[in-house]
Amino acid sequence: MSLSNTIKRALSASPKVLAADNPKFYAMVLDFTQSSADILEKELLKQNELKIGHDLQMREDQIKAMERSVEQKQKTIEGIFDFMLPCKSIIETNFRVRMDDGSHKVFSGYRAQHSHHRLPTKGGMRYAPDVDMDEVKALAALMTWKCAACDVPFGGGKAGITLDSKAYSVSELERITRAFAQQLNKHGFLGPAVDVPAPDMYTGEREMAWMANEYQRLNPTDLNAPACVTGKPISQGGVHGRVSATGRGVFHGTDLFINNEKYCEMIGLTTGWEGKTFIMQGFGNVGFHSARYFARKGAKCIGISEYNGDLFNENGIDILALEDYKLKNGGSIVGFPGARAWDAETEGSLIEAECDILGVCAKEKVITADNAHNIKAKILSEGANGPITPRGHEILVANKQLVIPDLYLNAGGVTVSYFEWLKNLNHVSYGRLTWQFTEDQNRAILGSVAESLAAAGHNIPVIANEELEKSIHGASEKDIVHSGLAFTMKRAGLKIMETADEFDLGLDVRTAAYISSLRKVYEVYSQAGFN
């Protein structure tokens, strides 16, 4: 397969950088994508050759025509793959914002649209001092494959502004967010049918509300304006279940693999959660909710690794108590009385400690060729984007460790964002139209049973027990969202397992996930035709 110039430049790196295993984030994503694309393209070309074949009874000109057809199809396949991989549209914009003291400051903002095979493009918006175009392009590419893996009909996108959000007041952050929304709107990078941002690092529902409001102000006739972003507060058109969605998705994906006999046998673990130990790297939104669901299923949290300190307790850490402590102590877990401080200098890195499951939910490139040999966990759940480098991944797979990859495992957020987007387009919340009818119907059933018993001479009251009373009205919006997420993660995970079997990939679930996603995107481009 011939690489495009864009990909060649992205994958090129000096020997010094490669030796330290610190690739550029975009190059890292392309590395994973390219190796999987090579496997899939070879298979498609092979299938194309087998379909045509040769019939000795054909006249010579017919055979030549068939051969030309094969050659043309091969060129089409190669052309689609060359087009699929690089980002389609990117924008870097510099805009001026007035500060509280009357001064003006210029900020740099970025938005990348990786793929237009489905619209709108979708992806988070982060505020961080080190955000640059390379990072935004990498995350946009990941979003394409993430959406495809879970059958969410979006192309991938990502945005970022280079700033330290802690250094600005709330009013300054609002003006920055609105100014960036103006730039995106002006250049066609914002809109419910075009490009839909969402929360990411150091942004949340507050920033999404500002952005949605600014878009509505700029486009007052757009009936679907609230769908221009997701992750909004409920009062602004958000959806119940969005806050915990990514962590819940991490749980569902890990649950599928930890209960699969084939994969557990390959890594030497028994199936099920009960008695398993886990360490969580990162205790933000994703890490907290992932740990909460892991513990609820019977696993024991023995360690938490955070940016400013690590905790360890071989008898188990109370996740809810730790979250309460963190909220009361300015967002820090340091000093939590339910665990001891872990000394990395004398005990080594906490993520290298003995455990069954390691939740990698902090940031990119934390496991590389330099430390992958030291990781002892049998299952690594990638709640963060890009936490393991390609060389680190190869080492883990060779050591018979199961890496459940980011493009599948942390897709819970974008899946529920899709549900929010649909809610905004439909202009009605989930469950609202059937809530009262379902309750009336269920109570009528109970009444009918009571009447039948009375007619038979049994005057026994038939009433709903506590469990039925809780759900007698049917599914709430949160119930529907949770159910939809669970189904999505299960279906996507089973498809990835099927792909791993088809290509005989063993424990290389990441390659299977990429192939599954690439095949879906390829089919869209192939069947849509070229124009």
Distances (CA, A) of 512 to 151, 262, 367, 414, 519: 15, 16, 20, 20, 11
Which run of H or E residues covers position 126?
strand 121-128
Select which of 24, 88, 137, 158 is catalytic.
Answer: 158
Look-up of token digits 């994703």? 286
The number of residues in the chain equals 531
Reference 383, options 260, 300, 259, 282; nearest CA is: 282
Instruction: Summarize the annotated binding site for NAD(+) as residue ranges.
Output: 246, 285
As a whole number of angstroms, the distance between CA 8 and CA 450 comes to: 74
As a whole number of angstroms, the distance between CA 431 and CA 425 comes to: 15
Look-up of token digits 């030549």? 64
SS3 473: coil
Q: Which two tokens stand for residue 41?
A: 């393209």
Q: Which two tokens stand for residue 65?
A: 């025509």
As a whole number of angstroms, the distance between CA 125 and CA 127 comes to: 7
Reference 178, options 220, 127, 213, 131; nearest CA is: 213
List the beta bridge partners of residue 367.
388
Instruction: Summarize the annotated binding site as residue ranges.
Output: 122, 146, 246, 285, 417
Reference 248, options 494, 125, 423, 413; nearest CA is: 413
As a whole number of angstroms, the distance between CA 118 and CA 419 comes to: 16
As a whole number of angstroms, the distance between CA 331 and CA 185 comes to: 34
CB 347 within 8 A of CB 374: no
As a whole number of angstroms, the distance between CA 510 and CA 367 comes to: 15
- DSSP characters over 292-314: HHHHHTT-EEEEEEETTEEEE-T
CB 421 within 8 A of CB 226: no
CB 116 within 8 A of CB 155: yes
CB 382 within 8 A of CB 254: no
As a whole number of angstroms, the distance between CA 29 and CA 138 comes to: 6
What's phi and psi for 115, nearest 5 deg? -140, 140
Which residues, other chains included, contact 352 with Cβ-Cβ below 8 Å and sequence gap of 6+?
Answer: 371, 374, 375, 376
Query: Is 529 buried (19+), middle (13-18) or exposed (0-12) by CB count in 10 A?
Result: exposed
Instruction: Summarize the annotated binding site for substrate as residue ranges.
Output: 122, 146, 417
Amino acid 211: pLDDT = 97
CB 306 within 8 A of CB 331: no
Residue 73 is a catalytic residue: no
pTM of the model: 0.87
Residue pLDDT tens, the chain, 531 long: 444 444 444 444 333 334 467 888 888 888 888 889 889 988 887 777 644 444 555 555 555 565 567 778 888 888 889 999 899 999 999 999 999 999 999 999 999 999 999 999 999 999 999 999 999 999 999 999 999 999 999 999 999 999 999 999 999 999 999 999 999 999 999 999 999 999 998 999 999 999 999 999 999 999 999 999 999 999 999 999 988 999 999 999 999 999 999 999 999 999 999 999 999 999 999 999 999 999 999 999 999 999 889 999 999 999 999 999 999 998 999 999 999 999 999 999 999 999 999 999 998 899 999 999 999 999 999 999 999 999 999 999 999 999 999 999 999 999 999 999 999 999 999 988 888 888 889 889 988 998 898 888 888 888 888 888 888 888 889 999 999 999 999 999 999 999 999 999 999 999 999 999 999 999 999 998 865
What's phi and psi for 398, nearest 5 deg? -65, -30
Amino acid 20: pLDDT = 64
Look-up of token digits 């008898």? 315
